[in-house]
Amino acid sequence: MSKKAGLFPILVGAVAGAAAVFFSDKKNQEKAKKVVAKGKASIKKISAEVKKNPEAYAKKMAKKVTVEAKKISKKIQAKVK
């Protein structure tokens, strides 16, 4: 067994432990519920938009990706100079 294979279960255990500590607090549970509810609402909205007109949604997302790619490219160019 390699060291990498033995490291994965340790990392999973550490993440699970951190999650248990985080969710043991009632305030954190409520925050997580709100985030999940917001995510579900967002997914429903996007799903409805895609079902209504898939091509228009694809164009909209392509435009957003292009804008973000240009922003990232500018940031990288600024750091290189």
Q: Are 37 and 43 in contact (CB under 8 A)?
A: no
Q: Side-chain half-sphere of 64: how many Cα atoms within 13 Å?
A: 6
Instruction: Evaluate whether 32 touches 23 at the Cβ level (below 8 Å).
Output: yes
Residue 63's pLDDT is 96
pLDDT of res. 5: 66
Q: Is the model's pLDDT at 2 over the cut of 60?
A: no
Say what the pLDDT of residue 72 is.
95
pLDDT at 50: 95
Mean pLDDT of 44-67: 95
Residue 26 and residue 38: Cα distance in Å, rounded? 19
Q: What is the pTM of this model?
A: 0.56
Per-residue pLDDT tens for 19-47?
999 989 999 999 999 999 999 999 999 99
